[in-house]
Chains A and B, each alone.
Chain A
Amino acid sequence: DTAVSQTPKYLVTQMGNDKSIKCEQNLGHDTMYWYKQDSKKFLKIMFSYNNKELIINETVPNRFSPKSPDKAHLNLHINSLELGDSAVYFCASNLGAGIYNEQFFGPGTRLTVL
């Protein structure tokens, strides 16, 4: 029983295309996140939603648009893909504040833009 799942796990596409990555959590958490891990393994927050409301929007090109249809889902749509978008994208979730409300990560989606 997967806690945080992402689809697809691998995505290979051409420059200029539009693609989506989906994330679902079955933990009953109220906050979800998207992180990007670049080719040097550096992890950085992109977005966060709490109860379907956007609460973190870091400096990310507006070609990236997150959508949260409900508390359990957070999708990431990317328009006009560029070579620099190639990375691993991680979804994560947690339940509110507090040190023991750790973030659970999905398995990641490796996006390759050709």
Chain B
Amino acid sequence: AQTVTQSQPEMSVQEAETVTLSCTYDTSESDYYLFWYKQPPSRQMILVIRQEAYKQQNATENRFSVNFQKAAKSFSLKISDSQLGDAAMYFCAYRSARGAQKLVFGQGTRLTINP
């Protein structure tokens, strides 16, 4: 079974600075997808960024980028120019490319932005 681990329960960063959230995963599959979701206090789950395992190029979405290291099974999220609205829980998630489409989530990291 696949597992996802986020070792940082909480992180904080100064507004306008850069922060990196860590995620590692375990799988025996070669084809899969990885995601970062944001959950603000409103509780809504919002997709931040996605990465296909067979793509070596790291995904980027505006201020959000990932560092995907397939051999190390590592998938970290970098947030540049942090804004107050980035404050939220962030979840790393794994999804197999075949079969059942369930998301396997990490424990989450609570990100605080200091003004």
Contact = CB atoms under 8 A, between A and B. Distances in A.
Interface string B18-37: 00000000000000010100
Nearest to B108: A41
A102 B43 contact: no
B100 A88 contact: no
Contacts of A42: 105, 107-108
Interface centre among B35, B42, B102 (most CB of A within 10 A): B102
Interface in A57-75: none
Contact of A45 (B33, B52, B89, B103): B103
Interface centre among B35, B91, B101, B107 (most CB of A within 10 A): B101
Contact of B33 (A88, A99, A105): A99
B62 interface: no
A101 B52 CA distance: 12
Interface in B27-55: 33, 35, 39, 42-45, 47, 50, 52
A41 B107 contact: yes
Interface residues of A, number: 27
B44 A107 contact: yes
Contact of A105 (B44, B98, B104): B44
A56 B35 CA distance: 20
Contacts of B35: 102
- The 9 A-B residue pairs whose C-beta atoms are closest, nearest first, are A105-B45, A45-B102, A43-B105, A99-B33, A108-B43, A41-B108, A56-B100, A99-B52, A102-B47
Interface of A: 31, 33, 35, 40-45, 48, 55-56, 88, 90, 92, 94, 96-97, 99-103, 105, 107-108, 110
Interface of B: 33, 35, 39, 42-45, 47, 50, 52, 89, 91, 97-98, 100-105, 107-108
29 contacts: A35-B103, A41-B39, A41-B89, A41-B107, A41-B108, A42-B105, A43-B103, A43-B105, A43-B108, A44-B105, A45-B102, A48-B101, A55-B100, A56-B100, A92-B45, A94-B101, A96-B101, A97-B97, A97-B101, A99-B33, A99-B50, A99-B52, A99-B97, A102-B35, A103-B101, A105-B44, A107-B42, A107-B44, A110-B43
